[in-house]
Chains A and B, each alone.
Chain A
């Protein structure tokens, strides 16, 4: 993805006034967010603050009611967008892994490249082997997901998303369902991706991880971005009262 094709305002991802309603409940009340190429943005906030919905909107898994989303110069919102084509360049990883249980690890990773990108089976397997090497699970290629630990499954889910060569990765609380001793291996992989310059938007409850890896942290509260800034500022001297309260609660819960 070249910098020349970036959005007019120079940002790789640009959201303006994004609103999303589920029946009577408005979950996102006008979100503005900019993400530069190669940046990592962490979304923090209580459960129900809209982090997951926001990520789903960027992947078009949810249709926004109002506002615009531009990724890499491509408008995602409005009519006449080819969702299947746009989604291929935006990877998303879920809290619950969502691997396909009837397929081996290899089949999980090669399905979309073969079906959606029309890669040959051979090329897809080669690419999958490289990715499995990166996540350290080459020897699990022919196992089924239920034979893997949660951490291993989540790493496969990341590899499956990377197999599409996305230019943007969305990570939706990917360590929330994991046992504490398995969280590290998944976060290490995300660190590697960040180091390689992958543009990422990460919804997370892991505050120390957000502090370490993020270029920008956004605190979401009740469907709006209440405060955003570099991690040291958000975590050390938050300006907003609500941010302070949230961080205080996190601190008390021993999560930081």
Chain B
């Protein structure tokens, strides 16, 4: 027991590892912020494309479906390696020359696929009569989508969307597998230097601290909505 406590919770090692792990953790924060911003926008675009009506849009819809199926089904760690491979082999003359950029691309590809489904569920949850009412007033398809369907859809999916973002924040740690010196990599460096795993505990604490506010915020939104819906039912 004492050995276990010393290995993971030694106060001296804990404090000593903090600056080093914090150095790496800044990568995790940057990965998360960039990927989340990209995912928010791209997933909405893919969800809209998947909902386009008519025969002319069929190839676009099909492409969106293939994309979400592929990237929702492939493990993130595989996608990370593939992007790295793509980048190092300079396929099509495209190379990011940066592990960080590769990481952002991998996270964005996978999480856009998840979040697309979240948006899509939200769009489909808006009753067709809403779109019909908007169209009956002479609004175009795009205007109805923008002013009537999407505002309602997005409001409804904020909790599941934040939930996916909590997943994304943690998954930034996976970028360590291609050698980006983020928090987990730094913790491992510390372990090999000092034969102590307290650095991993530090990294875990950082991740927990980062996700808790988002988790509480999600709870808060859900509770507020329940309150409002109960008020309506009266």
User: A residues engaging B (CB < 8 A)?
Assistant: 59, 61, 84-85, 87-88, 91-92, 94, 96, 98-102, 111-112, 115-117, 146, 160-161, 164
Inter-chain CA distance A92–B143, complex, in Å, is: 18
Secondary structure call for the A interface: loop
Residue contact B155 to A102, C-beta cutoff 8 Å: yes
Top 9 A-B residue pairs of the complex, sorted by shortest distance between their CB atoms: A88-B138, A112-B137, A98-B133, A116-B138, A87-B138, A92-B136, A98-B129, A115-B143, A146-B232
Residue contact A59 to B129, C-beta cutoff 8 Å: no
> Which among B138, B140, B232 has the greatest number of chain A C-beta atoms within 10 A?
B138
Inter-chain CA distance A164–B134, complex, in Å, is: 12
Give the residue of B129, B137, B147 whose beta carbon is less than 8 angstroms from that of A164: B137
**B63: A residues at CB distance < 8 A:** none
**A116: B residues at CB distance < 8 A:** 137-140, 143
**B232: A residues at CB distance < 8 A:** 146
Inter-chain CA distance A85–B129, complex, in Å, is: 20
B97 within 8 A of A: no
User: B residues engaging A (CB < 8 A)?
Assistant: 129-130, 132-140, 143, 147-148, 151-152, 155, 232
For the complex with contacts A98-B132, A112-B139, A116-B137, 14 further pairs of A-B residues with Cβ separation under 8 Å are A61-B132, A61-B136, A87-B136, A87-B138, A91-B136, A94-B129, A94-B132, A98-B133, A99-B133, A101-B152, A111-B147, A112-B134, A117-B138, A164-B137
Secondary structure call for the B interface: helix
Inter-chain CA distance A78–B43, complex, in Å, is: 37
Looking across the interface, which residue of chain B has its beta carbon closest to that of A115? Answer: B143
Least CB distance from B104 to A in Å reads 33
Inter-chain CA distance A136–B62, complex, in Å, is: 50
Residue contact B129 to A102, C-beta cutoff 8 Å: no
> Which among B135, B136, B147 has the greatest number of chain A C-beta atoms within 10 A?
B136
**B132: A residues at CB distance < 8 A:** 61, 94, 98
Inter-chain CA distance A161–B133, complex, in Å, is: 10
Least CB distance from B230 to A in Å reads 12
Inter-chain CA distance A115–B143, complex, in Å, is: 7
**A115: B residues at CB distance < 8 A:** 139, 143, 147
Query: With A98-B130, A146-B232 as given contacts, are A87 and B137 in contact (CB-CB < 8 Å)?
Result: yes
Inter-chain CA distance A61–B138, complex, in Å, is: 11
Inter-chain CA distance A206–B137, complex, in Å, is: 26
Looking across the interface, which residue of chain A has its beta carbon closest to that of B128? Answer: A98
> Which among B133, B139, B232 has the greatest number of chain A C-beta atoms within 10 A?
B133
Residue contact B138 to A164, C-beta cutoff 8 Å: yes
**B155: A residues at CB distance < 8 A:** 102
**A85: B residues at CB distance < 8 A:** 138
Give the residue of A84, A100, A112 whose beta carbon is less than 8 angstroms from that of B130: A100
Give the residue of B133, B139, B151 whose beta carbon is less than 8 angstroms from that of A94: B133
Least CB distance from B164 to A in Å reads 23
Inter-chain CA distance A98–B131, complex, in Å, is: 9
